[in-house]
Amino acid sequence: MASASCYMPGPGTDVQDPALGTTIMAVEYDGGVVMGADSRTSTGSYVANRVSDKITYVHDKVYVCRSGSAADTQAIADIVRMYLNMHSLEQGKAPEIPVAANILNQMCYGNKNNLMAGMICAGWDERNGGVVYSIPLGGGLFREAYTIGGSGSGFIYGYCDANFKKGMSKQEAQEFVKNAVSLAMWRDGSSGGVIRTVTISKDGVEREMVLGDKLPQLHAKWCP
């Protein structure tokens, strides 16, 4: 299943499950943003896809991280991509990140009773630089220096608060994201697989995948 997201309700599964089984995050650094996610797609307790891509392109320098129902978040990303392409043609320039985030929030909030979607919108534009917005389950728009989401996020709030610092370099931000997602994958049964990252800056977009046997081993400090 291409580009699947995290939690996909199966027969007899409560679709209102708030866990949003995944780990997604994004962080601003000095010059851009780094987005990261695990790759496990689960249908209840069954892992339907272990290498799905939860960081989705919506414009040249605008991406979204998706958690929740795969069908819901894929449909939202497709619609937002369409609107941003139309906006870009009308304005004659690339869309700004706040515009993309507001469109995404309107979709999520306006349909909050019918969707299960927790999203992160991030990217780079000439006016704002690297920007991160969180759109949690049910809608709402929050500009944050870094944000985490999905069921794995509950395991790493302390780590992220203790290790985040403003003005990080690109390399520091990438390591921060990889370490945090790896810790969440170690603790959260609904997160796993590989780590995918997207780094967005004035210079363009860099995608990276960290395989399962190459993940940071921070948990080894306390595990035998």
Q: Is 197 a catalytic residue?
A: no
pLDDT of residue 18: 39
Residues in Cβ contact with 139 at an 8 Å cutoff, skipping those fewer than 6 apart: 105, 108, 109, 110, 112
Range of the domain at 137: 24-221
CATH number, domain with residue 140: 3.60.20.10
Question: In a structure prediction context, what are the per-residue pLDDT tens digits for the chain, which is 224 residues long?
Answer: 333 334 333 333 333 343 467 899 999 999 999 999 999 877 777 777 888 899 999 999 999 999 988 889 999 999 999 999 999 999 999 999 999 999 999 999 999 999 999 999 999 999 999 999 999 999 999 999 999 999 899 999 999 999 999 999 999 999 999 999 999 999 888 888 999 999 999 999 999 999 978 888 876 666 65
Of the candidates 29, 42, 63, 26, the one whose C-alpha atom is nearest the C-alpha of residue 189 is 42
Of the candidates 165, 174, 180, the one whose C-alpha atom is nearest the C-alpha of residue 198 is 174
Residues in Cβ contact with 156 at an 8 Å cutoff, skipping those fewer than 6 apart: 23, 148, 180, 183, 184, 187
pLDDT of residue 53: 92
| Within a domain: 9 | no
pLDDT of residue 114: 92
| Within a domain: 189 | yes
| Within a domain: 8 | no
| Within a domain: 3 | no
Query: Strand 129-135 to strand 117-125: parallel, antiparallel, or no bridges (unpaired)?
Result: antiparallel
Catalytic residue among 22, 23, 56, 197: 22
| Within a domain: 1 | no
pTM of the model: 0.86
- The total of other beta-carbon atoms located within 10 Å of residue 191's CB is 28
| Within a domain: 10 | no
| Within a domain: 5 | no
pLDDT of residue 223: 60
| Within a domain: 16 | no
pLDDT of residue 5: 39
Domain count, the chain: 1
